[in-house]
Structure 1
Amino acid sequence: MARFDGKVAIVTGGARGIGGAIVQRLVSEGAKVMIADLNPSAETGENVAFVKTDATVTEDVQAAVKATLDRWGKLDILVNNAGIGALVETPDMEEDVWDRVFAINTRAIFLFCKAAIPAIREAGGGTIVNIASISGLGGDFAMGAYNASKGAVINYTRSLALDHARDGIRVNALCPGLIATDLAVGAVTDPVDAAFWFERIPLGRAGRAEEMAAVAAFLASDDASYMTGSIVTADGGITAHTGQPNAPDRIRQRKLRTQ
């Protein structure tokens, strides 16, 4: 028996990238999945459906939940994956950029949770997985809006977990690091940029969307039945580092230069 046999899920931003990989993973393990995205998805069929959704618009979100219930009769899993970033320092940031980042990264999660929790409660409980970021755990250069919005996702996850444990609903967050998706193509394809990034990642590479999907599926499954309010990093070891220089490596390099 697959872990998600008989389960129904919604994945926001599920048309591509990490969201697309999560959809594929859930379906491969028996789930029926509704993709809620502005972009159409090629992943449709008996067990996968698509509903065009602006996750920042209340009516769209409610319609996505209704479409899921109309098609499969219940809802067990919500994966809030939709998100965007912005690389700009605060004095140069237009107000609508800040507002847009927060609308997609935080308001959308609120709207989907508000619409989905009653349905998940009616199903007898279930799980919510919020895709946050290691950028919600610390600061980055010129990423104030993204940092702030993902930090909000992390603490909102904890609050949701407290409020809905009594409903049998577990709520956890996944914090990816650098993942090789279309959004990160510039950081992983150019050799100079790749070296710049990878030297900061202990595992020495970008993560794959499929690896994030594996963690998200774990959090959504009964294998994580005693986890709620957890903030899980999958970042190749970046957040294990204080940021101090690699002194042993400098010592090794110095010895090599003197030989």
Structure 2
Amino acid sequence: MTTRRLAGRVALITGATGGIGAATAELFAREGARLVITDVADGPLRDLARRIEALGAEVVAARLDVSSAREWAEAITVVRERFGTLNVLVNLAGIVDWPGIEDTAEDAWDRVIDVNQKGTWLGMKAAMPLLRASGNGSVINTSSVLGLVGSGSAAAYQASKGAVRLLSKTAAVEYACQGVRVNSVHPGVIATPMIQEILDEQGDRQPDIQRTPMRRAGRAAEVAPAYLFLACDDSSFVTGSELVIDGGLTAH
């Protein structure tokens, strides 16, 4: 049984076809949200929209490259014309590049920063007028445990996710008295397609799993409730916070 904690609310989710994105979109739908789901993958986006419609939720699918201010403006126009309001923005779109400092190519660095860091900022910039007007807005930005601690690799990814952490905090302070809360979520090793490839390459040893005290990868369905908590009134006094979901990885 669901509690319909998002009944009547409108949520825009970027990167919606990824493992965590799809789990979050479907959970929001079950909790009564009206959804605008976005991604650059048109086919998977249409498939996700059909699954959400089967849950009885109202959903609009829109292509969105989060690194483009123009496409953000178009997405917000879709929200305004279809629903007239926006209560929740979930910035989930992200890409990863694994090399360290010396092996990272400049164009790869720029692309990761454009999507992960700039895309998060552009999303808040575009959506904030509607969020403020709603009187009860929530922005949920996706960082990572690699936005909290170093790994010795993934230089561009870590730089972008560390930036998302502090960008979320400064936005939380800026909008604290304007009816919008801003928080960040920091997943650890989660068995999504982006991470599974790395786990498979690590073979039986899987050092990332071994560094996780619970000795397993998380599931997307274990991360989605964090977004639900931050989206609904259960977190009405939570802003500028980091919600870490990592099986204990950053506890030692």
Fold-level similarity (TM above 0.5): yes
Distance (whole Å) between structure 2 residues aligned to residue 132 and residue 239 of structure 1: 14
Of the three residues 59, 72, 76, the one matched with 1:48 is 59
Shift of 1:193: 4.5
Instruction: Give 5+ residue unaligned stretches, structure 2.
Output: none
In our comparison, the structure showing a higher alpha carbon Rg is: 1
For 1:1-259, what aligned pairs fall within 5 Å after superposition?
2-40=4-42, 41=45, 42-44=47-49, 45=53, 47-189=58-200, 192-193=203-204, 195-241=206-252
Distance (whole Å) between structure 1 residues aligned to residue 26 and residue 240 of structure 2: 25
Relative to structure 1, is the Cα distance of residues 239 and 121 closer, same or farther in structure 2, using a 3 angstrom cutoff? same
Greater alpha carbon shift after TM alignment, 136-145 vs 22-31:
136-145
Counterpart residue identity of residue 249, structure 2: I
Shift of 1:17: 1.2
Greater alpha carbon shift after TM alignment, 43-52 vs 119-128:
43-52
Distance (whole Å) between structure 2 residues aligned to residue 97 and residue 33 of structure 1: 32
Counterpart residue identity of residue 21, structure 2: G
Task: Verify the 8 A CA contact 1:85 1:101 in the aligned structure 2.
Answer: yes
Instruction: Give 5+ residue unaligned stretches, structure 1.
Output: 242-259
Q: Please give the secondary structure, in 1, of the residue aligned with 2:176.
A: helix
* TM-score normalised to structure 1 length: 0.89
Residues 121-172 of structure 1 show CA distances to partners (whole Å, capped at 9, x for unaligned) of: 1111310000100001011122111111100000000000000011110100
Residues 230-253 of structure 1 show CA distances to partners (whole Å, capped at 9, x for unaligned) of: 011100000001xxxxxxxxxxxx
Distance (whole Å) between structure 2 residues aligned to residue 29 and residue 188 of structure 1: 32
Relative to structure 1, is the Cα distance of residues 194 and 214 closer, same or farther in structure 2, using a 3 angstrom cutoff? farther
Relative to structure 1, is the Cα distance of residues 20 and 59 closer, same or farther in structure 2, using a 3 angstrom cutoff? same
Task: Verify the 8 A CA contact 2:104 2:156 in the aligned structure 1.
Answer: no
Greater alpha carbon shift after TM alignment, 213-222 vs 181-190:
181-190
Residues 74-102 of structure 1 show CA distances to partners (whole Å, capped at 9, x for unaligned) of: 10000000011111122222111111010
Q: Please give the secondary structure, in 2, of the residue aligned with 1:205.
A: coil
Give the share of equivalent positions with the same residue, in percent: 38
Count residues in correspondence. Answer: 241
Relative to structure 1, is the Cα distance of residues 190 and 95 closer, same or farther in structure 2, using a 3 angstrom cutoff? closer
Residues 27-80 of structure 1 show CA distances to partners (whole Å, capped at 9, x for unaligned) of: 110001111211121122351221011111111001111101211121000000
Q: CA RMSD in A?
A: 1.4
Q: Please give the secondary structure, in 1, of the residue aligned with 2:177.
A: helix
Shift of 1:191: 7.7
